[in-house]
Amino acid sequence: MADFTGKVGLIVGVANHRSLAWAIAQATSKGGANLILTYQGRFEEHVGELAETLTPKPLVLPLDVTNDDEIAAVYKKIQEVHGGLDFVVHGAAFASREEITGRFLNTSRDGFKQALDISAYSLIAMARGAQPLMAARGGGSVLTLTFLGSDRVFPNYNVMGVAKAALESSVRYLAADLGPENIRVNAISAGPVKTLAAAGIGGFSSILGVVREKAPLRRAIETSEVGDAAAFLLSDAGRGVTGEILMVDAGFHILGM
């Protein structure tokens, strides 16, 4: 188990108990981390109930990642309560149903902007806010979540694939920019798993079935496997890793057909 004793971590993107961000919260909390969980709008009750199950009990704060004032308020509160920050998990992503159900050709300008803002630019905004709090502690780790649809075409993924490609490129540029301050930036590319976000993808069950049939491990992944991989990257055990996209997908990404 990764040791997070004395570490402070911010986790963005928990929606319910199936969220990958929640699996990461469980893994890091188990290692002793003091966590701050954020919620967006209607998920306040869900996140609050989940927070009650962790020890030590996390601070729970509202956050709309498209609002710079709310981002600043979260980091100000962390500074006041904890005095610094050791890691950030960015699990925010969104594209409207209209943008992922039709032809990619018909992607709207507003839908494109929204998907890229929430799913990719927000990583930059979150890293920028975290930078002084991490630098004051001698470094830190930033982790985001992506998917193979950034590199290959999946049905009904559409503009989210473009957003994830931008997200992965942002990981590399941020890693290069923040590396001199001993701040690492990585991503986990998780295989398909039944989350709230996945429920919005048409034909998701078919995608999951193909993975179970074809992946080298002949199964889909479990959220706990993402949590454990994240704990490695966020902890001192991953101190030499930055700018990396770690595949946690039962090996599906290595296949040609």
The neighbour count for residue 18, using CB atoms within 10 Å, is: 15
Note the pLDDT tens digit of each residue in 117-143.
999 999 999 999 999 999 999 999 999
Nearest to 158 by CA among 172, 147, 168, 145: 147
In sequence order, the 6+-apart residues with CB closer than 8 A to the CB of 219 are 212, 250
Q: Is the pTM of this model over 0.85?
A: yes
Note the pLDDT tens digit of each residue in 40-86.
988 999 999 999 999 999 999 999 999 999 999 999 999 999 999 99
The neighbour count for residue 52, using CB atoms within 10 Å, is: 11
| 248-255: average pLDDT | 97
Given pLDDT bands bounded at 50, 70 and 90, which one contains residue 202? low
Catalytic residue numbers read 157, 164
Q: What is the dihedral of CA 121, 123, 129, 133, to 10 degrees?
A: -160
How long, in residues, is the chain? 257
| CATH class, range 8-252 | alpha beta
Query: How much is the pLDDT for 199?
Result: 59
Q: Residue 72, CB half-sphere, CA atoms under 13 Å: how many?
A: 3
Note the pLDDT tens digit of each residue in 82-111.
999 999 999 999 999 999 988 999 999 999
Q: Which residue has the tokens 């920019």?
A: 177
Delimit the domains of the chain by residue range. 8-252
Element of type H or E holding 183 = strand 183-190
Start-to-end Cα distance in the chain: 36
Measured CA distances, 86 to 122, 146, 164 (Å): 19, 21, 24
User: Using CB atoms within 10 A of its CB, is residue 31 exposed (0-12), middle (13-18) or buried (19+)?
Assistant: middle
Token pair in block for residue 186: 């990585």
Per cent of the chain over pLDDT 90 is 91
Query: How much is the pLDDT for 257?
Result: 84
Separation CA 136–CA 155 (nearest Å): 44
